[in-house]
């Protein structure tokens, strides 16, 4: 049963994103390529028994995106070199100090460097870029400094180790870049414009759901904002990996990946508001139908104008082409806010009459249905939230425009 469900789960993942299957196949190919070194005699002689290390390199380094592989490869190479050098250095120093002090110096150096390395992994700048490198550094350093080898034997070992790592990482980078490459940068780019679309859909969905006349279900289309809320970690990981990638597709070498994080943050700020708005849809306190009917058009206009801006930004990001329409849509949104406020002024006068009427009835002790003033609160809140959302959409516009400038988006010739 359990295995059945597991396989079903795996099958669903495989069919929903075939690139994950391709990643598996690529990993298989990379490992096969490296294990070829065990079978081809001349190569075997060249790299020797250390080919174990080439296999290990491939297994440890082969990640999903090109950026992650390049990052780990770089970390592994540099850290092995630094760790090895430091090890040889300490070894040499310990050797000079005589037989008695030697183990003490070696042991102390391992303890101190291991402690420093373990601590350094808490420093954010180290953690985000060199986490794997620190681990490999201390690993290599420990191997070298505590091994009983003499220095000349160590140098020979170092040469072997270096060649296995170069072979392992080259195979990984080659496989990842030339067989259906998955670029962290492109993933981040796609995630960003898809999140803009999701936000637009959620906003439309929420408002439509609130004002729907019959009980049709719109299929929870408006829950896309949840995805936006939970994208922070993914965005940060992708952005930090994307920095390691060479130019690919429309992305130049120094593409402003950090700016995507700012766009993401402004999107989340907007999504918080949409989440709050969504909370009111299923709220028990609903505005009276009459009022809702009255407000429907103005609210829809407001949300549609905001989501139009979001969709235009998504399109700008997707096509990497500045759109002349964005400013038009922003003005449209401003206009919607203005006309919304007019409707409200009009409404508040009506509500006034309604309450007056109510007061009169109370005095004459007639029992008729009256609309409590509290009933207009859900709709004023909705109004204020929608207006707040337009404000937050404007800051997304600013961040996307910064991105367009920094990344040198094409001008629209249409």
Give least dist CB 346 to a second copy, A.
Answer: 10
Nearer residue to a second copy within complex by CB, 184 or 404:
184
Closer residue to a second copy (CB): 23 or 198 = 23
Least Å distance between CB 34 and a second copy?
8
- Name the residue among 345, 343, 311 with its Cα closest to residue 329: 311
For a second copy, give the closer residue by CB, 84 or 323.
84
- Secondary structure (H, E, C), 110-138: HHHHHHHHHHHCCCHHHHHHHHHHHHHHH
3-class DSSP state of 146: helix
* Helix boundaries (H) for 147-183: 151-178
**DSSP secondary structure code for residue 380 in this structure:** H
Q: Identify which of residues 25 and 290 has a Cβ nearer to a second copy in the complex.
A: 25
Strand-pairing partners, residue 410, are 321
| CA dihedral for 115, 121, 125, 131, sign (positive or negative) | positive
Q: How far is the CB of 294 from a second copy (least distance, A)?
A: 15
Q: Which is nearer to a second copy, 160 or 388 (CB)?
A: 388
As measured in angstroms, the least distance from the Cβ of 151 to a second copy is 17
**DSSP codes, 198-242:** HHHHHHHHHHHHHH-SS----TTGGGHHHHHHT-HHHHHHHHHHH
CB of 163 to a second copy, least distance (A): 18
Least CB distance from residue 126 to a second copy, whole Å? 9
How far is 144 from 147, CA to CA, in rounded Å? 5
Kindly tell me which of 78 and 110 has the beta carbon lying closer to a second copy: 110
């Amino acid at each position: 049963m359990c295995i059945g469900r597991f396989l079903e789960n795996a099958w669903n993942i495989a069919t929903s994103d075939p690139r994950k299957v391709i990643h598996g196949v690529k990993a298989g190919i990379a490992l096969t390529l490296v294990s070829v070194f065990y079978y081809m005699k001349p190569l075997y002689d060249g790299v020797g028994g250390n080919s174990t290390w080439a296999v290990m390199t491939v297994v440890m380094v082969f990640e999903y995106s090109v950026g992650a592989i390049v990052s780990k490869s770089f970390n592994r190479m540099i850290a092995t070199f630094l760790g090895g050098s430091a090890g040889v250095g300490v070894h040499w120093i310990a050797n000079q100090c005589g037989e008695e002090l030697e183990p003490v110096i070696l042991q102390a150096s391992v303890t101190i460097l291991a402690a420093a390395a373990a601590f350094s992994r808490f420093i954010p700048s180290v953690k985000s870029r060199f986490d794997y490198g620190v681990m490999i550094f201390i690993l290599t350093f420990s191997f070298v400094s505590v091994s009983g080898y003499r220095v000349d034997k160590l140098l020979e070992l170092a040469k072997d180790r270096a060649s296995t790592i170069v072979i392992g990482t080259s195979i990984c980078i080659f496989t990842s870049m030339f067989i259906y490459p998955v670029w962290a940068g492109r993933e981040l780019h796609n995630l960003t414009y898809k999140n803009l679309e999701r936000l637009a859909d959620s906003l439309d969905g929420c408002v439509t759901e609130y004002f729907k006349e019959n009980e049709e279900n719109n299929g929870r289309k408006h829950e896309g904002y949840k995805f936006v809320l939970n994208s922070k970690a993914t965005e940060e990981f992708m952005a930090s990996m994307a920095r390691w990638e060479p130019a690919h597709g429309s992305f130049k070498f120094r593409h402003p990946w950090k700016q995507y994080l700012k766009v993401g943050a402004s999107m989340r700020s907007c999504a918080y508001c949409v989440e709050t708005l969504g909370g009111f849809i299923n709220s028990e306190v609903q505005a009276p139908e009459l009022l809702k009917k009255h407000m429907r058009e103005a609210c829809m206009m407001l949300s549609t104008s905001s989501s139009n801006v979001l969709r235009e930004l998504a399109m700008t990001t997707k096509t990497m082409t500045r759109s002349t329409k964005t400013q038009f849509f922003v003005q449209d949104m401003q206009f919607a806010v203005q006309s919304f406020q007019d409707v409200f002024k009009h409404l508040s006068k009506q509500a006034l009459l309604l309450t007056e009427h109510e007061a009169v009835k109370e005095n004459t002790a007639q029992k008729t249905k009256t609309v409590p003033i509290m009933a207009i609160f859900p709709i004023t809140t909705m109004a204020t939230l929608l207006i707040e959302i337009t404000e937050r959409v404007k800051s997304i516009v600013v961040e996307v425009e910064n991105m367009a400038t920094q990344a040198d988006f094409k001008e629209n010739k249409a």
